[in-house]
Amino acid sequence: MELELEKITLPGVDEKRPLVIAGPCSAETEEQVMETARQLAGRGIKIFRAGIWKPRTKPGGFEGVGVDGLPWLKEVKQETGMYIATEVATAKHVFEALKAGVDILWIGARTAANPFAMQEIADSLRGVDIPVLVKNPVNPDLELWIGALERINQAGLKRLAAIHRGFSAYDKRIYRNLPQWHIPIELRRRIPDLPILCDPSHIGGKRELIAPLCQQAMDLGFDGLIVESHCNPDCAWSDAAQQVTPDILDYILNLLVIRETNQSTENLNELRKQIDECDNDLIQVLAKRMRVAREIGTYKKEHGMTILQTGRYNEILEKRGSQGASCGMDADFIKKVFDAIHEESIRQQMEIINK
């Protein structure tokens, strides 16, 4: 199915990349909302986000202030002239948000994963013309993401965009939600006219990752950014670790390098992304190899063996040399690589033996 789309143009909002939406994870108090909004507006941000209803993994957390927070968003709009955006997850949320004059709706990752909820929201929006941003579902399922967009589109809404916020993983390492960039890239290929925004806050889960993720999204040709910003991030009632002050956000945005998006650079960036992933894998494999080498060092020490076991070293060079050659690499190159790796292993083992 083809999506029938219309461009999201908002009077007063610059059309050049990136479209920026910023604001706190959650609306907490009138003061926090207004203070954050004033600071953001003062730095040129035109679209304010704040969660009114918060989907929480476990009960008992802060579940949002609910309808009581909607008048604060109205006040933001009146005082600063910013557009206001909030998350909706049910027909009732849609009803309340529209009543309060919310300009842009977004659908959260947990909701996007649920076709019943998506259909309920779509039905509640029939006949309404409002921009709707659909986050990727929590699980890495492109079809489910596209299906969520299709449901909204079939209800007659044409001003749509996607938000890439990463995908959940069982063991979290660097990222709170894995970027899996190939998924939004494939979405772009499948629906070229659909704007894609990146949510570096929920991908990264920590402040330090916001700047590099924003840059990466820009380099991949994304259209916009939705970033969590709070006047006092450390005291935020939700997602404290990933929010930045409006000042820091401004700094991050000013440092972004925005390159032309034409097909060739997009392809190049995609390829570079793949190179980065390979290099990342290489480092991890090397680190693992060194850990094993250190264990061998301990064994050699305990058994009074010498570090350099020439026979073994020759065996490695020969075996890997011909293996490399069979994969189209120069045998001498492979020898150099393994020489260097071996040298570092020896250095690490020496450290253990001389300890």
22 lies in the site for Mn ion, by CB under 5 A: no
Q: Rounded CA gap, 229 and 40, in Å?
A: 8
The residue (of 201 and 345) whose beta carbon lies closer to Mn ion is 201
Site for ligand PEP in 1-60 (CB under 6 A): 25, 51, 55
Q: Rounded CA gap, 55 and 117, in Å?
A: 13
* Residue 315 CB contacts under 8 Å (≥ 6 apart), including other chains: none
**What does the per-residue mask of binding to Mn ion show for 236-275, with x meaning CB under 5 A?**
---x------------------------------------
Is cis: bond before 179, omega within 30 of 0? no
Question: Residue 32 CB, nearest distance to ligand PEP (Å)?
Answer: 15
The residue (of 112 and 157) whose beta carbon lies closer to ligand PEP is 112
Hey, how many other C-beta atoms are within 10 angstroms of the C-beta on 262? 9
Site for ligand PEP in 158-177 (CB under 6 A): 165
The residue (of 216 and 242) whose beta carbon lies closer to ligand PEP is 242
Alpha-helical regions (H) of 303-330 = 310-326
108 lies in the site for ligand PEP, by CB under 6 A: yes
Q: Rounded CA gap, 78 and 84, in Å?
A: 10
- Which residue among 5, 27, 105, 109 contacts ligand PEP (CB under 6 A)? 109
- Angle of the 115-125 helix axis to the 91-99 helix axis, nearest 10: 30
**Quick one: how far is CA 102 from the chain centroid?**
25
Q: Which of Mn ion, ligand PEP, none does residue 108 bind (CB under 5 to 8 Å by kind)?
A: ligand PEP
Q: Which of Mn ion, ligand PEP, none does residue 135 bind (CB under 5 to 8 Å by kind)?
A: ligand PEP
- Pair 130, 104: CB distance under 8 Å: yes
Q: Rounded CA gap, 50 and 7, in Å?
A: 23
- Name the β-bridge partners of 4: none
Amino acid letter, residue 30: E
**What does the per-residue mask of binding to ligand PEP show for 187-216, with x meaning CB under 6 A?**
---------------x--------------
Q: Give residue number: closest CB to Mn ion.
A: 25
Question: Residue 299 CB, nearest distance to ligand PEP (Å)?
Answer: 47
Amino acid letter, residue 343: E
Question: Residue 227 CB, nearest distance to ligand PEP (Å)?
Answer: 10
Total of residues contacting ligand PEP (CB under 6 A): 8
Q: How many helices (H) and strands (E) does the chain have?
A: 13, 8
The residue (of 21 and 293) whose beta carbon lies closer to ligand PEP is 21
93 lies in the site for ligand PEP, by CB under 6 A: no
- Phi, psi angles (nearest 5°) of residue 299: -60, -45
Residues in the chain: 355
- Which residue among 8, 20, 25, 45 contacts Mn ion (CB under 5 A)? 25
Q: Find the part of the chain contacting Mn ion (CB under 5 A) among 101-109, 190-198, 231-239, 324-332.
A: 231-239
Q: Which residues bind ligand PEP (CB under 6 A)?
A: 25, 51, 55, 108-109, 135, 165, 202
Q: Which residues bind Mn ion (CB under 5 A)?
A: 25, 239
